Amino acid sequence: MTYLVGLTGSIGMGKSTTARMFADLGCAVWDADTAVHDMYAPDGAAVAPMRSEFSDAIEDDGVSRTRLKAIIAADDTALARIEAIVHPLVAADRQAFLAATEADIAVLDIPLLFESGFDATMDATICVTAPPEVQRARVLARNTMSEAQFSAILTKQMPDAEKRARATWVVTTDTLEHARAQVQAIVDDIRKGLHHA
């Protein structure tokens, strides 16, 4: 029986790095963002349905995120229609991953874990966190968004304090060594529990 862990954390908190640490310890890791990225790639599962609904979003036989952003900005109904296409595909991808995995622990990296209610389907949850100044420095160092865009994203996400309060475990990513030690402790805890189950 695979133990399901939902992993979440706001932008710039170190969630992807933390997910890799779980993978390094033999956990199976599924990433919602990667699943969507694959679906938007040429011949991806989302391309045909998106082409019929939003032909302007197709570029080089894939779905262009840049074009999608422009469509969403121009049409109040677009986001809901996009989600109606993508969410069932993501759910099917997640189910296929879970059906195929033989790992004792499966970590599901879901950015909107609590907001979407997916935490209710997990055995436990983890919130990845970092001090606000570290988070801000990480995001702005990527040079992919402005301070205004970063602030706008934060206002749409559940506050970090609320995510931490709701999570089974919290991983603080102030240093790689500290984060790795916390991940190891969580995996040890789960495996001890599984051993006695």
Q: What are the residue ranges spanned by the domains of the chain?
A: 1-27+105-197, 33-102
* pLDDT for position 197: 45
Per-residue model confidence (pLDDT) at position 174: 92
pTM beyond cutoff 0.85: yes
Strands (E), 24-97: 28-31, 58-59, 62-63
- pLDDT recorded at residue 67: 93
Strands 105-109 and 28-31: parallel
Q: Do residues 68 and 54 lie in contact, with contact meaning Cβ atoms separated by under 8 Å?
A: yes
CA distance readout (Å), 157 to 4, 128, 176, 191, 195: 23, 14, 24, 31, 36
pLDDT for res 132: 92
Counting as low any pLDDT under 50, the low residues of the chain are 197
CATH code that applies to domain 1-27+105-197: 3.40.50.300
